[in-house]
Amino acid sequence: MATRKVILSERELTTLIKKIVRETQEKEVEEGWLGDKMKNVKRFTTGYGDESEKGSAEEKFKTSLSEIEDEVLEDVESFVYEDEDGWEMAKQDLMDEAEDNNFLGYLKIMNPRRTGKSKVMYMAGRSPGGRLMANIGSGAAGGVRSGYSQTKSN
């Protein structure tokens, strides 16, 4: 490849460098902006911005499950599971439910009055405290119920 010499004035060189810097910055801003928007869209649709968030939620769920398992195995008779095999089947069902829900839920020990025996339940959705969209939805519904909304349906 042959090398060519180009003669530029100082002004032309400065203008060219400024143009290159400006285009580079615009490209970086667009890539950063688009990446953030896509991460937010992914978080909205799946519940997680990236795989590391999902991995940490899965680990948190498994830790919670093992803590509850210790409690169940200490006193299996006080739970609806007849023995350790019954608990193993229930544990697998809980794992399947959590996996189907992208680990966006939490475990809770329920104690129904009619049987007097506790049962571990998987609660779908986020852990107590809720999600932003759920809070926005409940706030909007509260406004509609209280008459503050100016919609045609009221």
* Tokens read off for 6: 């180009």
Q: Is the pTM of this model over 0.85?
A: no
Backbone angles phi, psi at 117, to 5 degrees: -115, 140
Residues 48, 102: contact at Cβ < 8 Å?
yes
**pLDDT tens series, the chain, 154 aa:** 678 888 888 888 888 888 888 887 777 655 565 666 666 666 666 666 667 777 888 899 899 999 988 888 888 888 887 788 888 888 898 888 888 887 888 888 888 777 778 888 877 765 444 455 555 555 555 555 555 555 555 4
Q: Which amino acid is at 28?
A: E
